[in-house]
Structure formats: C-alpha cells, structure tokens
Structure 1
Amino acid sequence: MRHFIGIIKDNLTLSKLTLFSNPTTSYLHIAVLRTTSHSPSTPPNDHHLATILSLGDSSRATASTIIHSLITRLHRTSNSLVALKCLLTIHHIIKRGPFILKDHLRTIRSTNGRNNLKLSSFRDGSSPATWALSAWVWWYACYIETILYTTKNMDFDIYSSLIEKEKRRDLILSCMNSDLIRDVGLLVGVIEEICKVPDNLLVEKDRLVRGVMELLGNDYLSMVNEILVRLSEFKERVGLLSFDDSVELASVLDRLTGCKEKLLRLFSVKKISVENLWEMIEELDRKIGVGGVSQLGLVTGL
C-alpha cells in the first residue's frame, strides 16, 4: 500500500510539473523526480542518471536548477528510499558529473566549513525496515559531506581521470611535508567515515543499500591509490622528516591502521593496491619508529 501511494504521489507531482511549472525548467524537475522515484528499493536507473548528468552540462542555469531541485526533494521527503536515491544521485554527480554541476553542488550552505545536508533529524518510522534505512540516510549524508569537504580542501578532484592523476604525481614531488601530511589526513578522514557505515546486515537484503556499498568500494580504492602515492613520496623523504612531521605522520598512519579490521570486513575482495598500502604503512612505521612514534610516546608519557 505504501509503495502504491508513493507511485500515486510521483504521478501527481509529474502532472503538476507538466501543467503548472515553468516550461523552460519543468523538464529538469521531472528528470530529478524520475531519478529519485518512490519505486521499489533499487538504485536510480542508469538512463535517468545519465540524463541528469547530461542536462547538467548544458549551462550554469540548468545545473543550478538541477541541484536546487535535488536538494529540495531531499529535504522535503520523509521516505527513506527517496532520500537514499537523492543521496546516491548526489554521489554520482560528485564522482562523474560535469564540472558546472559539481560546482553548483559545492554551493550548498556550509556550517563550520562543512557542507550541511541537514539530515540529522531524518526519520522514516513507517516500518522497521524504513527505520533501519533511516540510519543509512543519516550516515550517507555525513559521508557525502565529508567527500565534499575533502575535495574542497585538497584543491583537486579525488575522482579525476588517470591522465590527470599522472600529471598530479609530478606536483606531489614538489609538495611540502606538511601539505602531504594534511592531504593524507583528509583522505584517511574519508576512510574513517566509510568505517562508520551502519549495520551491514541490510546489504544482502536491500538492492539500494548494495548500490551504496558498490560506490563505497570504489571510493575506498580511490582513497587507497591517492594515499599510496603520497606515502611512496614519504618513503623517499623519511630520513629528512623533522620530529614534528614524523609525529604527525605517525598519528595519521595510526588512524588508518585503526580502520584496517573494519575495512577487511566491509570489502573482502583482495586488491594489490590495498595489500601494498598495509605493507607500506608497516615499513614507514618501522622507519619513523625511533624518530616518530617512540618519541611521541616519550613526550606524552605513554
């Protein structure tokens, strides 16, 4: 019955948009509605997502309307499925959307430097299943806020193409130690947020949640690759690190190591890059142990 009512709501909204909305923008609102429908618990249709991304590349006015429509729908809905689809759509825009669409997404009002999707009070108590999905909505909004914050503060797109990443490798060589440590810390922050994902039992039962986890798995590997590049540079500089740099780097590596157990449970597929990351962390720990971790313990009395 709830699913049936949701379909009726979508059809009524489509009718209103067709009859009463500004014809120059109604098709954009319709595209958002179709992508984030009340239909069963499945990820947004690939065709509808492609339409959103394509339309968002046409002009700044169009991109602004799409983002405004998407955020408005996210804030007005009390349906956990619609909310998750809105967040999934935003995630896809961040990962593979055109620049102007991403740029308008960054204009969401921020609090304390972080984009604020304002979903901490979201509740869908219509059933035990939707109540459980509400926890995913809260967490997913926080995760997307973290991604937006990280991208903004690293001054580059963490989802950039392989060619762009290769060009960036040369820039990393000229970065100061403090900048590299800051970047690794921000990337580790994304991984820490991944590890806060709600109870994984829903993953096997809910296709929408599985869609979220698939994007998370890809994000995790992207973070691993970005961290590896920077740790490889630290491997070359380890003998030149100051005491303060050693302490900060050791602290960041410790945060990442603290995520290892949860990450192994979340993502069971073995990747060479992941194995290389844990090996490099152990190697760096050994190399900076005397100058970094051990001295940190002496200073703090640990």
Structure 2
Amino acid sequence: MGQSKKLKNLRSICKDKAKLIKATFSITNRTTSSIQIAVLRATTRSTQSPPHDHHISTLLSLSKATRHSASACISAIIHRLHHHHQQNAYVALKSLITLHYMITGGSFSLKEQPILHPKSATGFDFLNISRFVDNTDMQSREFSLWAQWYACFLKSNLSTSTILGYFLSSSKIEIEKKKENLKFSLYMDLFKEIEALVLTIEEICRAPSSLYCQTNDIVYEVMRLVGEDYRTTQYHLINRLAELNERLHSLRTNELTGLIRCLERLEGCKGRLTELFMNRKRNESFWELESEVMTKLMRLKKDAEMKSVSPKMIEYDSELTRLNKQLSAESRHLRLLTYGEANCWLTLTR
C-alpha cells in the first residue's frame, strides 16, 4: 500500500509539473497563464502544508487587475477542485482554502462575480463534491470527509451572504454601515437573516468527528478560517438579536414561536462549538444575549397564550351557564306535564 501511494503521488507530481511547464510557455494569454501557475503552486501535491501566503497574495493581486482576471481566478480554482489528475484529498482541501481566501480578501470585482451570486438555490453546484473520495489509504479517505464538509460550509457561507446582501467576512466599515440599516428592517427580513446565520453555525457543527486530523497543518488552517467566519457570524447575530430585543413586545404569537425554535437550534450547537474550537471562540457576551432574548421570548409567549385562553374560558363559562338554564327550564316543563296529557301524547305518537 505504501509503495502504491508513493507511486501514485509521484505520477501526480509529474502531471502537475507538466501543467506548470505548459502554462509557463503558453502563448494564449499571459494573465491567464499566470493565474493558472499561481493556482497550481498554491494547490501542489508535493507537500501536506496549506497554501503558502505568498501564493495566496499572488492570486489576490492578479484578481485585482481586471474583472476578467477576477473571473479567471475563480474559474481556475474551481477547475482545479474538480479536474485535478486523480482524486487527491489534499489538493481538494487546498483548492477550497484558496477559494476561501478569495472570498474573504478578494477585490470588489472578484466578489461581484456572478458565480458567487447565483439567482437560484442550486447556483452553488460548483461546490458540490459529495461524491469525492480519495481511496489512496485510510487517512486519505478521512481527509476526503473533511473536504466534503468544507465545501458544504463554503456553500452555506455564500448562501447566507446572498441573504444578508454582503459577504460574512466583509470589511468592518461595510458591516457597521449595514448595522445602522437594521433598525429599518422588517421583522420577517431580520428573522430570515437570523435563520440563515444559524444554518451556517449548524453547518460548522457538522464537521467530521475525527478531531485528531486537526494536527495536520491543512485541516488546522481550514478550522482557523472557519473559526474566523464563526466569530463574524456571531457578530452578525448579536446585531440582529439586539435589534429584535427592542421589538419583542410587538411580535405576534406565531412570530415568537418561530424565533424560539430558531434560538433553540442555536443553543443546541453550543456544546459542539466548544468542542471544535477548544474554548477559543466562545464569546460569552454572545451567549448571554442569546439567553436573555430566549428568556424574554418564553415569558412573552406564555403571557400571549394566557391572554388568548382567558376569553375562550369566559365564552365557555357563558355557554355552559346558558345550557344549564335551558336544561333546567325543560326539566320544569316536563314535571308540570299531567299524566293524562302525557298518555294522550304517547298514544297519538304510536
């Protein structure tokens, strides 16, 4: 098995070398060739380390040149994710890490690429690698699961960003600007955004259970980037929960119930999040606010239910009293009926 793995890796490295040479001497487009070379170097098979900073910096610089170069960067990364010679878990993870960096630190032109802003829910199919498996050995199969999950997380990240109207990892200036607009948002818009953010946190919690893999540099880098997005997601949730906290008294019972269920799902993630991030990103103020809002929601829902029950009880008591009076009147009428009259009535009926 070990010799077979070495042979496979050697063949793959040779293939990548050939691609590098081909891209270097390509006469089609120098910018496109430079992007292909940068992507190949960032996602090489020859090492189990994450993409080097200078390779990422090169790609970010190239993506800022023109809108065409930004599109070429995204296309080259996606092509590498799906079409590298023989399935390799490390190449897949490196491709996803590189894409994550592009989403986080890319230029405006790159972030505005149509592929990152699909009009339909199925628009993120380029991140569907659910059937990806590297069967080289047991460890490769384990890292394949990490690649599948990481792709799902990035898909959730982009889907949530589409609902928010800006990327999760946007600049602080843009986030603060959007924060000011929250006070003018309708409840349904706020609830939709909160639910999307909770879905992203739930996707984080679906990370493979083999936490020992985090000792690998590539998986460690994956969790570092995901952890940064988790911290940003918490901040987005804090802003929206704080805004809703001022409006809770005006919510209807069904709205209170929907929000309670959403926050219950969020509370269910707390233990797994602590396990994943080893208490590094707990943000106690976030959970305190969530608990405060949850307590107020439960109290308001209980009060609303009591108010809706009281009129029904009054109506029930009134109906019961009316029925009792009717039965009493009918019983008195029967007692006043003479034997002869009753006998005649029975005879007539027969």
Normalized against structure 2, the TM-score is what? 0.79
Write the distance in 2 (CA, Å) between the matches of 1:83 and 1:64.
Answer: 20
Residues paired across the two proteins, number: 296
Write the distance in 1 (CA, Å) between the matches of 2:147 and 2:186.
Answer: 38
Alignment of 1:126-275 (within 5 A): 126-270=136-280, 274-275=283-284
Q: CA deviation at 1:201?
A: 2.7
Residue deviations 1:110-150 (CA, integer Å, cap 9, x gap): 87444112311111001111111110111111111111111
Residue 210 of structure 1 aligns to a residue in which SS? Answer: helix
- Which residue, out of 287, 296, 317, partners 1:287? 296
What is residue 69 of structure 2 aligned with on the other side? 62
- Say yes or no: does 1:72 pair with 2:79: yes
Give identity over the alignment, percent: 35
Tell me which moved more, 21-30 or 188-197.
21-30
Write the distance in 1 (CA, Å) between the matches of 2:188 and 2:302.
Answer: 17
- Say yes or no: does 1:4 pair with 2:10: yes
Write the distance in 2 (CA, Å) between the matches of 1:251 and 1:294.
Answer: 17
What is residue 35 of structure 2 aligned with on the other side? 28
Q: 1:73 to 1:271 in 2, by over 3 A?
A: closer
- The structure, 1 or 2, with the larger RCO (C-alpha pairs under 8 Å, 6+ apart) is 1
Q: 1:294 to 1:118 in 2, by over 3 A?
A: farther
- Which residue, out of 6, 9, 19, partners 1:13? 19
Residue deviations 1:256-278 (CA, integer Å, cap 9, x gap): 00101101111123557x21121
2:116, 2:158 within 8 Å by CA — same for their partners in 1?
no
Q: Which amino acid in 2 is paired with 1:83?
A: A
Residue 70 of structure 1 aligns to a residue in which SS? Answer: helix
- Unpaired runs of 5+ residues, structure 1, are none
Write the distance in 2 (CA, Å) between the matches of 1:259 and 1:56.
Answer: 36
Residue deviations 1:194-252 (CA, integer Å, cap 9, x gap): 00001243334311000001011111110111101111111211212222221121111
Write the distance in 2 (CA, Å) between the matches of 1:37 and 1:222.
Answer: 30
Runs in 1 of length 4+ with deviation above 4 angstroms?
107-111, 293-296
- Say yes or no: does 1:97 pair with 2:103: no
Q: 1:21 to 1:110 in 2, by over 3 A?
A: farther
Q: 1:176 to 1:23 in 2, by over 3 A?
A: closer
Q: Which amino acid in 1 is paired with 2:135?
A: G
Q: CA deviation at 1:20?
A: 4.1
Tell me which moved more, 242-251 or 17-26.
17-26
Q: 1:198 to 1:271 in 2, by over 3 A?
A: closer
- Say yes or no: does 1:87 pair with 2:93: no
- Which residue, out of 59, 67, 72, partners 1:52? 59
- Unpaired runs of 5+ residues, structure 2, are 1-5, 309-350
- Root mean square deviation, CA, Å: 2.2
Write the distance in 2 (CA, Å) between the matches of 1:122 and 1:98.
Answer: 30
Q: CA deviation at 1:293?
A: 7.3
2:234, 2:286 within 8 Å by CA — same for their partners in 1?
yes
